[in-house]
Amino acid sequence: MFKYALKLNIRQLSRHKALMGIQVAGLVVGFTTLLLAAYYLSYETGFDKFHKEGDRLYRLLLVEEGDGAVVTSPNLYPALETVLEEEYPQLESVAKVMYSPGGGGILTSFTNDERQVLRDDINAISLAPDFFDIFSLPIRQGDISRLSEPFTAMISSTLAQEIYGHTDVVGKEFTDDDGHSYQIVGVFDPWEKQSHFSFELIKSYESIGARHGVDFHQNSWSWARMKFYIKLAAGVKEEKVSEALKTALSKFNPITSVGDSQYIQIQNVKDIYLYSDFNNNGWLQKANSRLLAVAVVAVIILIVSWVNAINISVALALEKIRAQGIQKTLGLSSTQLFLQRAIGHLFIHTIAVLMALTCFQLLKPWLNELAQIPSSFRFDFSTLSLLLLLWIMGLLMITLSSSMLVSRVSIGNALKDKLSQQVTSAGLVSKGLGTFQLIISLSFLLAVSVVWKQTRHLELTDRGIATDNILVVKGPRAFDYESFSERPDIIKAEWMNIPGVLKVASSYAIPGSHISTYGIRPVGQPEHSNLPIAEHQVDHNFLSLYGHGLLAGRFFSNDYPADDHGVVLTASATRLLFPELPFETVLGRKITSPEEEYQRTIIGIVADYHQLGPGEPYLPTAFVLDSESRGFYSIAYQTQDLSILEASIKSRFNELFKGNVYHSFYLSDYYDQLFARETQAIELLGLLTVVALILSVSGICSVLLLSLQHRLKELSIRKVLGASRTQLYAVVSKTHFWQLVLAVLLIVPVTYWYLSQWLNQYAVRIDISWLDILRPIVFTACLLLLAIYFTISKTLSANPSEVLNKE
């Protein structure tokens, strides 16, 4: 049976190469797209799902509200740990950590058997042994209890191998740039799967207090720098803990950054990676909408490939129906005929899947690079099971669609080719599926048009500051601070002597990086009126180097020694603090932080700019003067030979700051990297959209071709009776025109609504015009008319008499 059915389908494949080619190609594209999308989504949604008892592991969030503003942050007060441990029996374990991601600037010195190794790119975390009551980490050597002692550390096996060439490193020491030495007391294996935070070095939490000689790391209610993780007691519900923790801060009254209301929320560790975009809510978060779009597009592409396969299988089933009528008279049962068809579709699907798997393997390195997925990542069992289920669904759907049509034909009608009812049914099915493909084409074209226009709009939006021709150098960590404080501008003066350098400025942050936010208010107002304003520490040259637009007052100047206690506000910060006052009258007023330790006089107001890119809201910012700031050096230049310029800059840096690692980058590249994930998603969605459009157009053409074959006799009669090609063209186009109208009415309102919601994520956004809606409709109509024209031209080239005689 299997062998016979296989032979029949191979013969049919050879007779209908074009149609079968479209069917196989469509299924290959659909399966390949599904595999790529599932691979991408499996990685993006798989963060922190490997932790034991992950459903009981949570991170705490601090939420501050006031005057319509809401600020959510994962940073909390160190003193909270004691409160949680003593007053909340619902919590089985509590641990606080301080996380320092690589690139944070901490310079660490290791000494191996051959040389000194300097590193400032290590992900480090400070924690106490109670961390291991929540998270499991494979320990190769050592004793985790030693992490209760100051200046002890554990190192990952990969970092140990990289620095020392082996992992037998317990007892060795390394030194941080603050001069303190740490003893390595253990070696751990890093997590093999993706997590929202990864680390290569563990430092004991007590080192924080020992380093500064204070105990604020344990009892402070103002230093909100710690991240808290909790493990719920067995059987405790998340909702009850969340409600109970809302009052945890009430009797301690920590100083707030916003208004006078703050409380704690909890967030499951499995949600942290995707749900930490606190400026957006729910499924419209940028990360979620990106993944949702990829998933929807991939499923639609698969469905479109199924639609093509169903259309072709129905047409071929009608062609074979007389032969199957003969088989019935010879004793074949309906079950055997169904199995015959199923074997044929299984054959086609198997070929398509094997080809799709090959395509997936070829494209996977490209996707790994695009989405920054480690090459070691593999599908999990649940994802593979889902893919297998979808494959079976497609196979059954395509097989049943043709079987349902054939099963309604009696043996007599099949032998006499009386199939008018079945042809009509097939035509209705084809029309419905053709309308569906038009809907897909329209929605995809509209989405691509709007997404591209929004992306282009963000690229062309003026950031409000200069970002071109600026080289950024990370500041030194290890140096003679006393000598530096006497002459903080020495490196700037050296660089200014290099031909091509126009200006040099220093700061603790740069455009594109995050700036710490503090509670700030006008002097004389109560603490509950604090407003969240970013404090940007800069030198005298920073504002002029970046071309900030001055609206009132002046920039910092060496001619005014009192500027050490001055502040320059952005327009949005000024409106927050003094909503009713003109900018000129704000000059000379004073602002203060919650503790009132620092009062600063407003000396200038600058225009708002996009610190984090045009897609983000303006960040209310207070620029304060710090002539010794050295986090980053910004160098404005004008030269043709960048290699010589950077070599000179690096040479002077290494001469003045020996024992440091030199890092530099161009600010325009840094800005681009900030939005790499958004760019990656847009590129991926763009590729999937092109694929979907190709499939939709090929599907429409195949449906049209099959429809014309069934109407060939009618069209030939019209031609004999004198109908011109234009009239025949109109007859055939009329049905597809109404399909297009129906598709427009069904999909345009839905797509318009969804895209409007998507655009609301951006601070700077386009408006969807009627032209944006009309353009995809006109394009689809033109594409459809061209397909009809070329298909009709080929079909009607046949001699009408030959067609009528054959019929």
Secondary structure of 594-660 as H, E, C letters: CCCCCEEEEEEEECCCCCCCCCCCCCCEEEEECCCCCCEEEEEECCCCHHHHHHHHHHHHHHHCCCC
Least confident interval from 577-591, 683-697, 743-757, 767-781? 683-697
- Per-residue pLDDT, 397: 79
pLDDT above 60: residue 806: no
Using the 3D structure, point to which of 273, 297, 316 is the last residue of a domain. Answer: 273
609-to-253, 461, 567, 582 alpha-carbon distances in Å? 34, 11, 17, 20
Task: Kindly report which listed range (78-82, 147-151, 332-336, 621-625) carries the lowest average pLDDT score.
Answer: 332-336
Q: Percent of the chain at pLDDT above 90?
A: 32
Q: For residue 57, give the nearest of 135, 124, 150, 5 by alpha carbon.
A: 135
**Sorting pLDDT into bands at 50, 70 and 90, what band is 417?**
very low
Percent of the chain with pLDDT over 70: 78
Q: What is the arithmetic mean of pLDDT over 274-278?
A: 75
Q: Give the angle subtended at the CA of 304 by the CAs of 729 and 294, to the nearest 5°.
A: 130
Q: Return the minimum-mean-pLDDT range out of 116-120, 328-332, 488-492.
A: 328-332
Q: Within a domain: residue 319? A: yes
Residue 101 pLDDT exceeds 80: no
Assess whether pLDDT exceeds 80 at residue 685.
no
On whether the CB atoms of residues 286 and 62 are closer than 8 A, the answer is no
Please name the residues in contact with 642: beta carbons below 8 A apart, sequence gap of 6 or more: none
**Cα 771 to Cα 150: distance, rounded to the nearest angstrom:** 66
Residues 491 and 620 both lie in one domain: yes
* pLDDT tops 90 at residue 144: yes
Tens digits of residue pLDDT in 497-507: 999 999 999 99
- What DSSP line would sit under 529-577, residue for residue? G-EEEEEEEE-TTHHHHTTPPEEEE----TT-GGGGGEEEEEHHHHHHH
Q: What is the pTM (predicted TM-score) of this model?
A: 0.76
Whose tokens are 């980053």? That residue is 632
**Is the model more confident about 231 or about 693?**
231
Q: Which residue segment(s) compose the domain that 267 sits in?
A: 54-273
pLDDT higher at 516 or 666: 666
Regarding predicted confidence, which is higher, 5 or 650? 650
Give me the pLDDT at residue 282, please: 45
pLDDT level of residue 442 (50, 70, 90 thresholds): confident
Contact 313, 345 (CB under 8 A): yes
pLDDT of residue 598: 76
pLDDT at 21 over 60: yes
For the ranges 219-228, 460-469, 603-612, 668-677, the lowest mean pLDDT is seen at: 668-677
* Best CA proximity match to 457, nearest among 614, 306, 352: 614
User: Are both 763 and 649 inside the same structural domain?
Assistant: no
- The beta strands (E) that lie in 67-188 are given as 69-73, 91-100, 108-111, 116-119, 124-127, 139-142, 152-156, 173-176, 181-188
Please indicate, yes or no, if residue 592 is contained in any of the structural domains: yes
362 band by pLDDT with thresholds 50, 70 and 90:
very high
Confidence of residue 428 (pLDDT cuts 50, 70, 90): low
When pLDDT is averaged across residues 760-774 and rounded to a whole number, the result is 85
Whole-number pLDDT of residue 247: 85
Q: How confident is the model at residue 414 (pLDDT cuts 50, 70, 90)?
A: very low
Assess whether 223 and 292 both reside in one domain: no
Q: Are residues 655 and 522 in the same domain?
A: yes
Residue 6 has pLDDT above 80, yes or no: no
Residues 140 and 100 in one domain: yes
Question: What's the confidence (pLDDT) of residue 422?
Answer: 44
User: Which of 212, 242, 273 marks a domain boundary?
Assistant: 273
Residues 6+ apart with CB under 8 A from 363: 32, 36
Q: Which one is predicted more confidently, 389 or 437?
A: 389
* DSSP state, residue 254: P
Closest CA to 636 of 498, 451, 450: 498
Nearest to 692 by CA among 394, 298, 291: 298
Q: Are residues 684 and 578 in the same domain?
A: no
Query: In a 10 Å sphere around its CB, with 0-12 CB exposed, 13-18 middle and 19+ buried, how is residue 514 labelled?
Result: exposed
Please report which helix (H) or strand (E) contains residue 17, including its range.
helix 17-44
pLDDT digits (tens, 9 = 90+) for 42-91: 998 889 999 989 999 999 998 887 666 677 888 899 999 999 999 999 99
48 is a domain residue: no
Q: Are residues 402 and 261 in the same domain?
A: no
How big is the CA angle at 747 (ends 310 and 731), to the nearest 5 degrees? 65
pLDDT beyond 70 at 688? no
What's the whole-number average pLDDT of the chain? 81
Question: What's the CA gap between 531 and 45, in Å, rounded?
Answer: 35
pLDDT of residue 659: 83
Q: Is the pLDDT of residue 456 over 70?
A: yes
Average pLDDT on 15-31 reads: 76
Whether residue 356 sits in one domain with residue 221: no
321 and 358 co-located in one domain: yes
Instruction: Confirm whether 280 is domain-assigned.
Output: no
pLDDT number for residue 202: 95
Domain check: are 702 and 743 in the same one? yes
92 occurs within a structural domain: yes
Confidence band (pLDDT; 50, 70, 90) for 633?
very high
- Residue 389 counted as domain residue: yes
Would you state the pLDDT for residue 415? 41
Q: Which two tokens stand for residue 85?
A: 């441990």
Q: Which residue has the higher pLDDT, 748 or 328?
A: 748
**Bigger pLDDT: 459 vs 149:** 149
Query: What mean pLDDT comes out for the span 447-451?
Result: 80
Give yes or no: residues 644 and 556 share one domain. yes
Is residue 170 within 8 Å of 138, Cβ to Cβ?
Answer: no
Has residue 65 been placed in a domain? Answer: yes
Domain boundary among 617, 634, 659: 659
Do 784 and 700 contact (CB within 8 A), yes or no? yes
Domain count, the chain: 3
**What is the model's pLDDT at position 246?**
87
Residue 416 banded pLDDT, cuts 50, 70, 90 = very low
pLDDT at 746 over 90: no
Residue 702's pLDDT is 67
* Amino acid making up residue 510: I
pLDDT greater than 70 at residue 435: yes
In the structure encoding, which two tokens stand for residue 64, read together?
Answer: 């501050």
Residue 678's pLDDT band (cuts 50, 70, 90): low
Residue 686 has pLDDT above 80, yes or no: no
Which two structure tokens, joined as six digits, stand for 219? 């009892």
Q: Give the separation between CA 322 and CA 740, rounded to whole angstroms.
A: 34
441 with 510, same domain? no
Mean pLDDT of 442-469: 83
Separation CA 181–CA 204 (nearest Å): 12
pLDDT at 332 over 60: no
In a domain, 630, yes or no: yes
pLDDT of residue 59: 95
